């Protein structure tokens, strides 16, 4: 039926549109290549940064009249839209620089990245917040970012910057996905909570553990990656077989696992759940009625490190403003608001953590991690293999 009702201009416009994008891209390249280096942040770059990292800002940036500078920050959906101290910090950026920050919420991280990949070169905004290390390689391969090394990048620790060594993106925060346990449940039974990955296959913890499906949930994927880190690309299958034999339950989403199946928050039957390293402090901060101690704990050896990145979106109409915003995002002023708003750790080494975090969050000494490129190239195969093994 589409013949009759598709608008006659449909295909034509789509075609033209493609040409227009190609032309714009070509133009941008030419402009970029011809313009002189107009950014002033090279002096403060940390030593050892590759020179190619900061391409010159195209002069088109100055096309907007003075006093109406603005920048659009694209973020995932748990980024608060207004009202919080994180938003206040962004307002201070506006006060200090005269650059208005528009916030655009693009869905969860996977959705946001899919959109950015589709619109690479003609982005929805200027800066993107929140691509994590499980998605970083895809973001880089799909060429959604313009390389930029923040002028104040020396506040970032090497173990984070090494993940994007050429300024492909800027690490802004990190957190962990860990096995959480219900303290009261284990206390009532005088059973010690598990200490290691291997403990989870112990009959003492039979039928107590609920995880998310890595095919449909990002904490679920992180936990699968943690097991691959622990047992290796050829050993994790046996571990999961053992977990399955020990009655591990798999559900499709974090919400289901935590709020339906977990014994603490959902009144469910499972005292062990895959959640976040920051879930215990969040349980204190958002407790009803208020409480002073965390009801849940974290099995630190199971933690998989998630590092989140921000980057300048390639094709931005406001590259100078975008770079200023990146600098601000890792500035202490903004970083100090992250912990209690997003429940992540600041990337800035000079930023201090609030007391609630120091008390109840566990920062694992040696968090598990995998090379982003390795994750990207194996993700699909691992998930398929896992599905066959655990759900099949």
Partner 1 sequence: MSQSPSRQPRWLIFSLAIIPIIGLGVFFLWPFLTLLAEAVTGEAITNTLTRRSTWEIAWFTLWQATVSTVGTIIIGLTPAYVFARYKFHGRELLVGLLTAIFVLPTVVMGAAFLALLPTSLDRTIWAVLGAHVVFNLAVVIRVVGTMWEHLPTDMEAAAATLGANRWRVFTDISFPLIRPAVTAAAAIVFLFTFTSFGVIRVLGATGTRTIEVEIWRRTTQLGEISEAAVLALLQLGILALVVLWSTFAQRRHSRALRLEPLSPRRTPRTKGERRFVAIVVGCTAIVASVPLIALAVRSFSTPSGWSTTAWTNLGQTEIRPGIRIGIDPVNALGNSLRIAVWATLIAVVVGGVAALAIAAAGRSGRFLDTGLMLPLGASAVTIGFGMLITFDADPFDWRASWWLVPVGHALIAVPFVVRTALGPLRAVDPAMTEAAATLGAAPARAWREVVVPYLWRPLAVGAALAAAISLGEFGATSFLSRSGGETLPIAIEQLLGRTGSLLQAQGYVLATMLALTTVVLVAIVDRLRDPGQNEAEGS
Residue 138 interacts with partner 1 (CB under 8 A): yes or no:
yes
Stretch that binds partner 1, among 40-48, 78-86, 145-153, 322-330 (CB under 8 A): 78-86
Stretch that binds partner 1, among 7-15, 36-44, 158-166, 327-335 (CB under 8 A): 7-15
Number of chain residues interacting with partner 1 (CB under 8 A): 85
3 state DSSP class of 355: helix
Residue 172 interacts with partner 1 (CB under 8 A): yes or no:
no
Spatial CB neighbours of 26, under 8 Å, sequence gap ≥ 6: none
d(CA 308, CA 346) in angstroms, rounded, equals 10
Residue 53 interacts with partner 1 (CB under 8 A): yes or no:
no
Among residues 153, 158, 164, the alpha carbon closest in space to that of 328 is found at 153
Residue 105 interacts with partner 1 (CB under 8 A): yes or no:
yes
Spatial CB neighbours of 65, under 8 Å, sequence gap ≥ 6: none
Stretch that binds partner 1, among 31-39, 149-157, 166-174, 246-254 (CB under 8 A): 246-254
Residue 83 interacts with partner 1 (CB under 8 A): yes or no:
yes
Please report how close the Cβ of residue 169 comes to partner 1 at its closest, in angstroms: 16
Among 81, 96, 154, 352, binds partner 1 (CB under 8 A): 81
Among 37, 154, 188, 252, binds partner 1 (CB under 8 A): 252
For the chain, the first-to-last Cα distance in angstroms comes to: 40
d(CA 188, CA 191) in angstroms, rounded, equals 8
Residue 276 interacts with partner 1 (CB under 8 A): yes or no:
yes
Task: Report 355-374 residues binding partner 1 (CB under 8 A).
Answer: none
Residue 21 interacts with partner 1 (CB under 8 A): yes or no:
yes
Q: Where are the beta strands (DSSP E) in the chain?
A: 70-75, 100-105, 127-132, 145-146, 170-182, 209-212, 249-251, 272-276, 296-313, 345-346
CB 96 within 8 A of CB 348: no
Kindly state the DSSP code that residue 269 receives in the 8-state scheme. Answer: S
CB 177 within 8 A of CB 274: yes
d(CA 133, CA 308) in angstroms, rounded, equals 6
Longest dimension (CA), the chain: 73
Residue 245 interacts with partner 1 (CB under 8 A): yes or no:
no
Residue 11 interacts with partner 1 (CB under 8 A): yes or no:
yes
Among 267, 349, 352, 371, binds partner 1 (CB under 8 A): 267
Stretch that binds partner 1, among 212-220, 232-240, 297-305, 319-327 (CB under 8 A): 212-220
Instruction: Name which of 119 and 196 has its Cβ closer to partner 1.
Output: 119
Residue 391 interacts with partner 1 (CB under 8 A): yes or no:
yes
Task: Report 292-321 residues binding partner 1 (CB under 8 A).
Answer: 295
Strands 272-276 and 296-313: unpaired
Strands 170-182 and 100-105: unpaired
How far, rounded to the nearest angstrom, does the alpha carbon of residue 115 sit from its chain's CA centroid?
15
Residue 285 interacts with partner 1 (CB under 8 A): yes or no:
yes
Among 71, 340, 347, 375, binds partner 1 (CB under 8 A): 340
Among 343, 357, 360, 382, binds partner 1 (CB under 8 A): 343
Residue 64 interacts with partner 1 (CB under 8 A): yes or no:
no
CB 54 within 8 A of CB 42: yes
Please report how close the Cβ of residue 279 comes to partner 1 at its closest, in angstroms: 4
């Amino acid at each position: 039926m589409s013949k009759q009702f598709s608008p006659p201009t449909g295909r034509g416009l789509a075609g033209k549109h493609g040409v227009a994008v190609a032309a714009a891209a070509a133009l941008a390249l030419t402009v970029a290549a011809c313009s002189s280096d107009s950014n002033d942040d090279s002096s403060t770059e940390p030593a050892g940064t590759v020179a190619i990292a900061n391409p010159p800002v195209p002069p088109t940036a100055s096309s907007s009249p003075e006093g109406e500078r603005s920048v659009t920050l694209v973020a995932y959906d748990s980024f608060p839209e207004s009202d919080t101290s994180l938003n206040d910090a962004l307002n201070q950026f506006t006060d200090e620089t005269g650059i208005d920050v528009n916030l655009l919420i693009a869905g969860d991280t996977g959705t946001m990245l899919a959109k950015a990949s589709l619109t690479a070169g003609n982005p929805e905004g200027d800066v993107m917040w929140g691509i994590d290390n499980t998605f970083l390689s895809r973001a880089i391969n799909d060429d959604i970012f313009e390389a930029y090394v923040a002028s104040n990048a020396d506040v970032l620790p090497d173990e984070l910057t090494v993940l994007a060594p050429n300024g492909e993106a800027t690490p802004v925060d990190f957190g962990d996905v860990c096995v959480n346990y219900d303290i009261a449940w284990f206390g009532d039974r005088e059973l010690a909570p598990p200490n290691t990955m291997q403990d989870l296959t112990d009959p003492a913890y039979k039928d107590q553990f609920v995880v998310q499906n890595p095919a449909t949930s990002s904490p679920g994927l992180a936990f699968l990656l943690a097991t691959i880190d622990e047992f290796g690309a050829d050993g994790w299958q046996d571990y999961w077989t053992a977990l399955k034999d020990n009655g591990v339950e798999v559900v499709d989403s974090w919400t289901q696992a935590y709020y339906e199946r977990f014994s603490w928050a959902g009144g469910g039957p499972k005292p062990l759940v895959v959640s976040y390293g920051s879930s215990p402090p969040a349980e204190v901060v958002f407790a009803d009625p208020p409480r002073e101690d965390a009801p849940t704990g974290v099995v630190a050896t199971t933690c998989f490190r998630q590092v989140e990145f921000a980057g300048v979106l390639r094709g931005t109409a406001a590259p100078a403003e975008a770079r200023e915003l990146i600098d601000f995002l890792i500035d202490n002023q903004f970083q100090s608001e992250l912990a209690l708003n997003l429940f992540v750790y600041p990337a800035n080494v000079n930023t201090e953590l609030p007391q609630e975090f120091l008390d109840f969050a566990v920062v694992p000494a040696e968090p598990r991690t995998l090379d982003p490129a390795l994750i990207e190239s194996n993700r699909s195969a691992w998930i398929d293999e896992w599905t066959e093994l655990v759900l099949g």
